[in-house]
Structure 1
């Protein structure tokens, strides 16, 4: 019995090795959303198999399938949190993600202790169905920008972050940065600085038309400028 318990406990970890290698590739080639939906579908099926299991072998198979979700926590999920949320909230969401892992372990153990162990499968099915809301997500703006799909990137970014001046500035810098990367150049602090300076120069040139919303966006980009002399020059012109 003890040997069987060890096999069951290790099944998800062993299968997770495969998923750790595959999920980042899928996320890079086909998008974050697709990779997350694959994990979600796999988790629904795995939890159904777990609930319907009547032998140790069937439970091991179910646990092996659920290794995808375990691997997703360390691969695709951090990508999604980083690319779908605003910078000021990323730390909070990453902390919540880590806490939820341990909370889920506690719930599973408590459920198995005070009720029938198959109820763990029911809870897993409910939460897996909940994560299927990813069907309604847009694709990651960062992935779309990296693939050169500017229109879809813009639409997705606005869906996630609204159309505020700050969001517009971040979106423009995201697209510009990926254009440099796709051109074969290395993204460095110097390149980022040059992109910011170029954008600011354009805004200053248009400032006589009183496009104040563009000037507000430029103020956000001023923080990216490392050249102090250029910073002072552009600030003086904007003011």
Structure 2
């Protein structure tokens, strides 16, 4: 490392390295909690609006599907715009924008009185999701020490389900509008946290601001021997062949040619393609759509709305427990092994639910709500312990260093589109082919993704971003 970048003298920080790492993690967890609040709100809000009017016409199937899916579709253009902003102005500014949008989103939710108001809130939720999709993975992978990265990603993922559980609990026992109060409070808390955290070292290095990069890197990760080697690797990756990034305006044609060259390299399209498989797996597990339409799905099986609400809260609790079980297992098991095993068990349990519902349908066995709930509890535990927990961890680690912003755009657009489409069409799937065939569909879809993961997914645990990138050279 050049002399001017070496550590000179003792660095005095008010927080130790672990404390600073926890601060970054706390910010991500609060954001994730807010996403969970937003995600869970339609489940209880739609049910309350229909109950108040004593009619399902208060929120039609069409409107209900738009309320559930709108955030996914709005997130698509938001991801594209925000990644451009991230590339030119930094990750930290987009984080701040996301906080303001979150506050607006929850304010509208708190004031909402009908399905239209709820839809407007969901549109702002889509902007919030798009902003965070573009920065979440970059900030965490670029700011976390490799030894903490898996655990902190797991805690972030668990926070989403804490948000869903909190949202559903509020909506079960109180007016759903109170969800907005919790969301606004979280927005204010995170607004102050984001001002303490520095810009990510990778972005600073990409702009040629190496002194600031070194300072930010040491603030985030300390100055031990391994961390200094990682810092040198960052400098080397941006100063290869003596080229230093120069902030000049390029023509559109030049920019397109540069990105096309990057896209055609195995170091780009291989990790992005694997990331796409992981994103499909996240949807194929069915956990997202079953969480969104939990009351409708469970209500159709149990024939009792009150039972459906309590079953939903039980499953939310076990989902959170599954996340923390995954946090423990993630420290001991390889990512690839953990993902493949948990995904396989999740698919088996979806087949089991479908089989049970077929047996009841053809009157081979009588309805047994305890058996049905037990299978769903195991399904929630294992799915959250594996695929839902590791999705963001592995995708964040796989993003290529070259063309990283473009890779985030592709990932964010694909993820948002898959989410939006699955939320939009699941109600029609449940109506057209019934609950048992819907579980069967997702089980087969999940099995296909597992086969592709087994063939192409490499191991990424405890590797730096440069070491992971080297796997695809």
TM-score (norm 2): 0.37
**Contact 2:95/2:132, CA 8 A, preserved across alignment:** no
Structure 1 unaligned runs (5+)?
190-223, 225-239
Which of 219, 237, 245 is 1:177 aligned to?
237
Residue equivalent to 1:36: 95
Residue equivalent to 1:2: 59
Moved over 6 A (4+): 186-189
Deviations along 1:70-94, one digit per CA (max 9) or x if unpaired, are 2345331011110111011111122
Whole-angstrom CA distance in 2 between matches of 1:81 and 1:28? 16
**Contact 1:44/1:125, CA 8 A, preserved across alignment:** yes
**1:20 Cα deviation from its structure 2 partner:** 2.2
Q: Does 1:102 align with 2:161?
A: yes
TM-score (norm 1): 0.71
Structure 2 unaligned runs (5+)?
1-57, 245-261, 268-466, 468-473
Give the number of aligned pairs: 190
**Contact 2:92/2:198, CA 8 A, preserved across alignment:** yes
Which of 96, 113, 119 is 2:178 aligned to?
119
Alignment of 1:60-75 (within 5 A): 60-75=119-134
Q: Does 1:161 align with 2:221?
A: yes
Residue equivalent to 1:207: none
Q: Which structure is richer in relative contact order (CA contacts within 8 A, separation 6 or more)? A: 2
Other structure's SS at 1:117 match: coil
Whole-angstrom CA distance in 2 between matches of 1:28 and 1:182? 22
Residue equivalent to 2:211: 151
**Contact 1:33/1:139, CA 8 A, preserved across alignment:** yes
Which of 10, 14, 17 is 2:76 aligned to?
17
**1:164 Cα deviation from its structure 2 partner:** 2.3
**1:182 Cα deviation from its structure 2 partner:** 7.8
Query: Could you say what the CA RMSD is over the residues aligned between the two structures, in angstroms?
Result: 2.6
Other structure's SS at 1:18 match: helix
